């Protein structure tokens, strides 16, 4: 299990992760089998944001639930046992296929790298990313699925990631629908938000996506969806992300840290995130925790 001293435990509860969550959600949906499963087994089309908000705390529990983390991992895995069906070409998919499930896991690891690259005052060093990835492998092993699909090192993971971006993922129907949702959210009212509030707030959400979410996308994904991105867009995005990086540490603790992480830090008798701040500025030789 993970605990004080592990890099995931020290950093993954930072709310800045939500700034890249739409990116990782879109990347998940672009894997054909995963996108198909969401199409056929989820209320995604009527509540994509709810799906995100429900999923993240459960996933975080594997890092922050202490002695209950293994149970949380098995519960998350078992949520997916019945997600299976047929692809348009007649082949079959299953959410627990190791290649499919690892792609979803890979996006959660990418979130740890992407958020520090974009929204921390200093990005993680290659050594820190390698240490984070080693812990990510331990995290994967807690699901009890095959290791055969797991790149052995961080460098291997980077090669795997680039291969997936350029050769495997595609604008699936589910992914296109998510992009449409962010471009025109007023056309997809959410049942958990009052209609008037949604109509008033959805244009601002759309603009936030077009200026912040799109900036965090890999360029190849922007090209797949024909999303324009100019030098002026990039300059504005750089100002935004640097502002977040340098002002975030002065925000109140409860605003900066997600509830599951705060509960873990209370349980372990500490305030938390002290090491997370050091993570952004100093190299580390932290070893991964035992699974």
Domain extent for 168 = 7-279
Q: Is residue 54 included in any domain, yes or no?
A: yes
Which has the closest alpha carbon to 273: 246, 254, 247? 254
Rounded Cα distance between 209 and 215, Å, is 9
Tokens found for residue 53: 């908000």
Q: Report the DSSP beta bridge partners of residue 94.
A: 84
Q: Is residue 290 included in any domain, yes or no?
A: no
Q: How far is CA 175 from the centre of its chain?
A: 15
How many domains, the chain?
1
What pLDDT, on the 0 to 100 scale, is given for residue 243?
A: 96
Number of helices followed by number of strands (H, E) in the chain: 16, 2
pLDDT digits (tens, 9 = 90+) for 64-102: 999 999 999 999 999 999 999 999 999 999 999 999 999
Which has the closest alpha carbon to 8: 143, 128, 147? 128
Which has the closest alpha carbon to 19: 199, 243, 252, 265? 243
What pLDDT, on the 0 to 100 scale, is given for residue 270?
A: 76
Q: Is residue 286 included in any domain, yes or no?
A: no
Instruction: Please check whether residue 52 is in contact with residue 181, taking contact to mean a CB–CB distance below 8 angstroms.
Output: no
Q: Is residue 2 included in any domain, yes or no?
A: no
Tokens found for residue 238: 């750089």
pTM value? 0.88
pLDDT bracket for residue 279 (50, 70, 90): very low
Instruction: Please check whether residue 108 is in contact with residue 59, taking contact to mean a CB–CB distance below 8 angstroms.
Output: yes
Rounded Cα distance between 30 and 27, Å, is 5
Q: Is residue 178 included in any domain, yes or no?
A: yes
More confidently predicted of 144 and 187: 144
Q: Is residue 288 included in any domain, yes or no?
A: no
Strands 92-94 and 84-86 turn out to be: antiparallel
pLDDT digits (tens, 9 = 90+) for 168-196: 999 999 999 889 888 877 777 676 677 77
What pLDDT, on the 0 to 100 scale, is given for residue 49?
A: 59
Rounded Cα distance between 157 and 159, Å, is 5
Q: Taking the chain, what is the end-to-end CA distance rounded to the nearest angstrom?
A: 5
Mean pLDDT of 242-268: 93
What pLDDT, on the 0 to 100 scale, is given for residue 199?
A: 75
User: What letter would DSSP give residue 93?
Assistant: E
What pLDDT, on the 0 to 100 scale, is given for residue 271?
A: 65
Mean pLDDT of 46-54: 62
**H helix intervals, the chain:** 7-11, 21-29, 32-41, 48-64, 69-78, 98-119, 126-141, 154-163, 173-183, 195-208, 214-216, 219-224, 231-247, 253-256, 259-267, 274-279
Q: Is residue 96 included in any domain, yes or no?
A: yes
Tokens found for residue 22: 């739409």
What pLDDT, on the 0 to 100 scale, is given for residue 290?
A: 37
Residue 262 confidence (pLDDT) above 60: yes
Tokens found for residue 80: 């997916």
Q: Is residue 48 included in any domain, yes or no?
A: yes
Instruction: Please check whether residue 147 is in contact with residue 89, taking contact to mean a CB–CB distance below 8 angstroms.
Output: no
Residue 261 confidence (pLDDT) above 70: yes
């Amino acid at each position: 299990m993970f605990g004080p001293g592990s890099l995931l435990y020290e950093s993954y509860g930072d709310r800045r992760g939500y700034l890249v969550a739409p990116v990782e959600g879109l990347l998940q949906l672009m894997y054909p089998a995963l996108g198909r499963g969401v199409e056929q087994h989820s209320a995604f089309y009527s509540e994509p944001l709810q799906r995100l908000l429900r999923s993240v705390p459960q996933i975080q529990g594997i890092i922050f639930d202490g002695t209950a983390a293994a149970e949380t991992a098995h519960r998350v895995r078992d949520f997916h046992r019945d997600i299976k069906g047929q692809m348009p070409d007649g082949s079959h998919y299953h959410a627990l296929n190791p290649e499919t499930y690892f792609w979803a896991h890979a996006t959660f690891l990418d979130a740890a790298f992407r958020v520090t690259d974009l929204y921390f005052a200093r990005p993680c060093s290659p050594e820190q990313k390698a240490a984070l990835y080693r812990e990510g492998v331990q995290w994967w092993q807690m699901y009890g699925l095959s290791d055969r699909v797991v790149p052995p090192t961080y460098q291997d993971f980077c090669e795997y990631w680039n291969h997936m971006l350029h050769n495997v993922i595609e604008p699936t129907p589910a992914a296109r629908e998510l992009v449409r949702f962010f471009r025109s959210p007023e056309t997809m009212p959410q049942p958990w938000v009052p209609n008037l509030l949604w109509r008033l707030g959805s244009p601002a959400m759309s603009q936030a996506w077009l200026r912040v979410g799109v900036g965090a996308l890999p360029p190849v994904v922007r090209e797949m969806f024909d999303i324009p991105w100019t030098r002026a867009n990039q300059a504005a995005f750089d100002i935004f992300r640097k502002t977040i990086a340098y002002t975030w540490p002065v925000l109140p603790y409860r605003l900066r840290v997600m509830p599951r992480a705060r509960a873990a830090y209370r349980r372990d008798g500490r305030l938390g995130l002290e090491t997370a701040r050091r993570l952004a500025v100093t190299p580390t030789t932290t070893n991964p925790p035992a699974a």
